[in-house]
Amino acid sequence: MKRPDAKVHDRGFGFDPDEALRHLRASDATLAKLIDRTGPFRMELKTATNLFDVLAETIVYQQLHARAAASIHGRVRALIPRTRGASAARALSALTDESLRGAGLSRSKLLALRDLALRTLDGHVPTLAEARRMDDETLIERLSEIRGIGRWSAQMLLMFRLGRPDVLPVGDYGIRKGFAVAFRKREMPVPADVEKRGERWRPFRTVASWYLWRAAETATES
């Protein structure tokens, strides 16, 4: 199933943020209040030139503090300098386990990177152009077959690299925490609760998610 090409609006999104805000305000009065309290939609996309590099970085950064992850990622990149995409996948495949472990990778992340490289070279990982033409669920399912890449990681790519308008990562702690804050829930909501309310926000659940994250941050700061 292919996703129709969408007009690319300002800031690289494949949708109009102003239209999204109008829709969310009209469809959910409580979310409208959160939008008013938070202010303008300031989500920014991260540059992506190919999926191998994006997913490799995702794997390295998992469950690590940003500074430590950046250091390890830098050492891994230093082993395959001046390469990107399929060329980087090929170069990584040629490295020994010892050199990759020496860069600071755990065994699980080493195996995940090797699987990613293999699946990039055999065509399982789509090109960026192919990914842009795929619908959300098809791309999520495809990427989730890669070791170390789950549904959440694929959703983050859809939101922050591809600028998709209608992604709601209900399993994300920050989303659930922000939902509890915005909707004044005494207990942490289960994903199904967020999913049900999120039906009102289609087709702009990405924008709603960004505001829920901001609500969670505000609660943490207070």
Q: Which domains does the chain have, with CATH numbers?
A: 10-45+166-221 (1.10.1670.40), 51-160 (1.10.340.30)
Mean pLDDT to the nearest integer, 116-127: 97
Q: What is the mean pLDDT of the chain?
A: 93
- Give residue 11's pLDDT band: very low, low, confident or very high (50, 70, 90): low
Confidence check: pLDDT of 4 > 70: no
Confidence check: pLDDT of 186 > 70: yes
**Confidence (pLDDT) at 42:** 96
Range name among 21-25, 62-66, 113-117, 133-137 with the lowest pLDDT average:
62-66
Confidence check: pLDDT of 160 > 90: yes
User: In sequence order, what are the beta bridge partners of 138?
Assistant: none
pTM above 0.85, yes or no: yes
Tokens of 13: 């999104």
Which letter does DSSP use for residue 81 in this model? T
Tell me if residue 172 is catalytic. Answer: yes
Confidence check: pLDDT of 178 > 60: yes
Which tens digits make up the pLDDT trace of 72-118?
999 999 999 999 999 999 999 999 999 999 999 999 999 999 999 99
**Confidence (pLDDT) at 221:** 66
Q: Any residues with CB less than 8 A from the CB of 123 and at least 6 apart, and which?
A: none
**Contact indicator for 58, 149 with CB cutoff of 8 Å:** yes
* Active-site choice (28, 36, 172, 193): 172
**Confidence (pLDDT) at 220:** 73
- Give residue 20's pLDDT band: very low, low, confident or very high (50, 70, 90): very high
Tell me the CA distances in angstroms from 174 to 188, 203, 214, one per residue in order.
Answer: 11, 21, 9
- 51-61 vs 85-94: helix axis angle to the nearest 10? 50
* Residue of 130, 141, 132, 198 lying closest to 163 (CA atoms): 132
User: In sequence order, what are the beta bridge partners of 134?
Assistant: 2
Tokens of 22: 């109008």
**Confidence (pLDDT) at 103:** 97
Tell me the CA distances in angstroms from 161 to 132, 149, 158, one per residue in order.
Answer: 10, 15, 6
Mean pLDDT to the nearest integer, 150-177: 97
**Confidence (pLDDT) at 3:** 39
